[in-house]
Amino acid sequence: MNGFSTEIRTFYSLKELRESIEKEVNRLRTMLEDYSLWLGTLLRSPESAKRQEWAKKAAELQKVLKAGSRKNTGKKGGKKNETSTDWVQFKELMLSADDFGEAEMLFEAVEGLRNKIDRLEKAKNSISELERYGLGSETLYVTFMHDGVPEKVVFKPKEDLEATEKFQFEADLAVEQT
């Protein structure tokens, strides 16, 4: 479940799926902690002569990101246009030479990680509920993953898999000693 992608994965048990989600949540929490520390260090930097201005911008940015995540603006660059940092469009990239640009990116990354962790936790809780029903070990779980978060699961009997496993290549290898 690493990264942001769309994929279909097959799990051999709900436990395997749940453990995969837990592993991803732990990885994202570590990343969130790292980014939060980085952001804190950046905002407390003694090199920043505009300390009060930064504090105002940080508070403004935090409000915009929280409101934006609730409203779900939909426009890819919408949040950047609402902040006070100067961003310039260059083809498919947004560029900034403003000192606050790095802090803004970190705020956005932290908010994005929090949202993804929340979505994964909800999916994990749903999987845990399914585990209580005891669907058995004779079931495969074909899972649609979007941005690393399971969104759809198809239950499939393992006997469907056995037909494809019968056509495996087997060979014995003999090595001559010299």
Task: Indicate the pLDDT class of residue 1, thresholds 50, 70 and 90.
Answer: very low
Mean pLDDT over each residue of the chain, to the nearest integer: 79
Task: Indicate the pLDDT class of residue 53, thresholds 50, 70 and 90.
Answer: low
Q: Where are the domains of the chain?
A: 6-165
Could you read off the pLDDT of 74-100 as tens digits, one per residue? 444 444 444 556 788 889 998 888 767
Out of 64-78, 121-135, 137-151, pick the least confident.
64-78
* pLDDT of 69 higher than 60: no
Return the percentage of the chain with pLDDT > 90, whole number.
Answer: 43
Tell me which of 81 and 4 has the higher pLDDT.
4
Tell me which of 146 and 169 has the higher pLDDT.
146
- What DSSP string runs through the chain? --SS-EEEEEESSHHHHHHHHHHHHHHHHHHHHHHHHHHHHHHT-TT-TTHHHHHHHHHHHHHHHHHHHHHT--STTHHHHHSSS--EEETTEEE--STTHHHHHHHHHHHHHHHHHHHHHHHHHHHHHHHHT---SSEEEEEEEETTEEEEEEEEETHHHHHHHTS-----------
pLDDT at 77: 45
Could you read off the pLDDT of 14-44 as tens digits, one per residue? 999 999 999 999 999 999 999 999 988 887 7
Tell me which of 148 and 45 has the higher pLDDT.
148
